[in-house]
Structure 1
Amino acid sequence: MSAGSEKKRTACVTGGSGYIASALVKMLLEKGYAVKTTVRNPDDMEKNSHLKDLQALGPLEVFRADLDEEGSFDEAVAGCDYAFLVAAPVNIHTKNPEKEMIEPAVRGTLNVLRSCVKARTVKRVVLTSSAAAVSSRPELQGDGHVLDEDSWSDMEYLTANKSSYYGYPVSKVLLEKAACRFAEEHGISLATVCPVVTVGEAPAPNARTSVPNCLSLLSGDEAAFAVLNAIESATGCIPMVHVDDLCRAEVFVVEEDAAAGRYICCSLNTTIAELGRFLAQKYPPYGVKTHLLSGDRLEKPRVCLSSAKLLREGFEFKYKTLEHIYDDMVEYGKAVGILPN
């Protein structure tokens, strides 16, 4: 084989119409990978037009696949060196989390993993879980807790108390554990990335993201702020990472031979009170909506999510400060109409 015709590494990214997956597809193409991605309906251009644009960056094939359909990922995964499992049901407001989020999340994850076994070419699978599987631990009282990869959200508490968002952390814990068991049984090299609140610009135009929540103190969007508030109440902090750093971390754990197990991906831990002060100083034209900040507020994080494992293995974050993260996010917020220009 001549040097010019050397075969590109091929990666499958599930859920290409989503926020994180669309950013990951873009990064992989820019790094010279051939990419195959899956969406539920390739003809839905409202959700998928960005994938057409990304095809200008390199070889990108789009396949129809559904987490609920056994075998529907076979074609997309066939011949791939790596598989990134990013697609997941996110019906946070569903009335029936067991049937509409928890069971489909586990079933869908195993469905894609079965396709990886059939392919026989996949060297590593990277599962995107969530810090929600790490940080929902109401028994942590007082300050100064540092959570690492050994921490799991408290399933007994979550299922007994059934708060309005309980299905999301439960689905993430169960899909991680099911994926680990399956990988061990079938000899799959699996690494799991647990991103925290992920922000920044991504190609998918209509994906549900955390950006409106993190801009809510500037936009005044009370529903978006309520989600930010719920994160701080459940976690004891607002842990953040830029989507570019998250995608770089996913590529890092797929390419590092020694990578294994879980990785928390978090570049900084803050609070709503700290965000309010920072935003008031940095973006005076918008005016922080101070009425949202009333009541007792955490001054500093009670709990911190640690990415020490990722850093120890050689990864470096690019976006390490609120300033750096928000400069990019405010521009993106203006572009997508969350903030006025």
Structure 2
Amino acid sequence: MPAGAGAAVKGKTACVTGGNGYIASALVKMLLEKGYAVKTTVRNPDDMEKNSHLMELQALGPLEVLHADLDYEGSFDDALAGCDYAFLVAAPVNLTSENPEKEQIEPTVRATLNVLRSCLKAGTVRRVVLTSAASSICIAPLEGDGHVLDEHSWSDLDYVTAEKPPAWGYVISKVLAEKEAFRFAQDHGISLVVVCPVLTVGASPAPKACASVRASLSMLSGDEAALAMLKGIEKSFGAVPVIHLHDLCRAEVFLAEMATASSGRYICSSVGTTVVEIARFLAEQYPQYHVNIKQSGDDELLEKPRASLSSAKLVKEGFEFKYNTLDAIYGDVIEYGKALGILLRY
């Protein structure tokens, strides 16, 4: 095991923002299972429809659910007070806004800086782990095949602004939020790691399916809108890069605990595939769902990835992915989909 990994956590406290969400609730669960005391934030702690799964997680260890609002500076002061690590997962998402500048981009940058100011004020936070998205890396005109994108790659904001691909305001918001976060961290001596996950799938404590899970199951569920999202990812990314939720959470904790890990960005992607490859896999493994291997618009779909998002930097630090095949990745998401009513039970 690399030096600094698996550090003792007795007496350590971690804060996870947006704890009732898909990624954040899985991260809260993992931290509690590792022995951390956890403080997490939601907009309304009394809303049991959104937070009941957090109450259930309290059986695993000390979990405090606090009110905070991304729009207000100082709102996260109580949650971050006394914390050793901060996991910034919550972020504004408004993919259908008619005014992305005011309703997606500015709120995302403002929210990121608001939480970082609270981290600074706490004075105890050893490392901040900011969850961004791979869309900050790979939305750019890519000609030909064989592209390998790494942490030095940034989405081309001139291209995004001109072409306005789906959710273009979200793409810009992630790029600008990352850059402002790094500037703030450098100015104030904060140890900051940014994790850029790709399409994230897998079972979560959250009782509501996020868009990525719906997309990953779309060829089994018949959800055409979710399938369109999956095809849109392939078109924009030059592939369908996937990460299992458990591996993403493991990577975030690894990068927080690993004292020798360098600050900066880390791509989190374990499988690079295509819509066609996923269709073939699902048709073979789950014949009861009658997957249509010949997807509509096949002439535009890729037979093999044109681009790869490399997690070599993360692996070089000593991290090992546990879910690095489609079979492993889809193992629990099928049952999760059934439990949430997305998939029929056969």
Same fold by TM-score greater than 0.5 = yes
Q: Does 1:280 align with 2:283?
A: yes
Q: Does 1:336 align with 2:340?
A: yes
- In the alignment, which residue of structure 1 is the partner of 2:175? 173
Q: Please give the alpha-carbon distance, in whole angstroms, between the structure 1 residues aligned to 2:282 and 2:10.
A: 48
Q: Does 1:23 align with 2:23?
A: no
- In the alignment, which residue of structure 2 is the partner of 1:197? 199
1:7 Cα deviation (Å)?
5.3
1:208 Cα deviation (Å)?
2.5
- In the alignment, which residue of structure 1 is the partner of 2:313? 309
Cα deviation 1:93-136 (Å, max 9, x = unaligned)? 22221111111110000000000111000010000000010111
Q: Does 1:289 align with 2:289?
A: no
Q: Does 1:320 align with 2:309?
A: no
Q: Please give the alpha-carbon distance, in whole angstroms, between the structure 1 residues aligned to 2:98 and 2:53.
A: 31
CA-atom RMSD in angstroms: 1.2
Mapped contact 1:83–1:126 kept (Cα < 8 A): yes
Residue type of the alignment partner of 2:264: G
Residue type of the alignment partner of 2:335: E
1:295 Cα deviation (Å)?
2.8
How many residues of Structure 1 are paired with residues of Structure 2 in the alignment? 335
Residue type of the alignment partner of 1:223: A
Cα deviation 1:50-72 (Å, max 9, x = unaligned)? 11000000000011000001100
- In the alignment, which residue of structure 2 is the partner of 1:48? 51
- In the alignment, which residue of structure 2 is the partner of 1:3? none
Determine what percentage of the aligned residue pairs are the same residue: 68
1:291 Cα deviation (Å)?
6.0
1:200 Cα deviation (Å)?
0.3
Q: 3-state SS of the aligned residue for 1:262?
A: strand
Mapped contact 2:280–2:293 kept (Cα < 8 A): no
- In the alignment, which residue of structure 1 is the partner of 2:126? 123
Residue type of the alignment partner of 1:257: A
TM-score (normalised: structure 1): 0.96
Q: Does 1:213 align with 2:215?
A: yes
- In the alignment, which residue of structure 1 is the partner of 2:273? 270
Cα deviation 1:264-285 (Å, max 9, x = unaligned)? 0000100001111111111111
1:209 Cα deviation (Å)?
3.5
Q: Please give the alpha-carbon distance, in whole angstroms, between the structure 2 residues aligned to 1:163 and 1:197.
A: 17
Residue type of the alignment partner of 2:160: L
Matches within 5 A, 1:113-192: 113-138=116-141, 140-192=142-194
Cα deviation 1:65-91 (Å, max 9, x = unaligned)? 000011000000000001000000111
Q: 3-state SS of the aligned residue for 1:24?
A: helix
Match of 1:104 among 75, 89, 107: 107
TM-score (normalised: structure 2): 0.95
Q: Does 1:90 align with 2:70?
A: no
- Unmatched 5+ residue regions in structure 1? 1-5
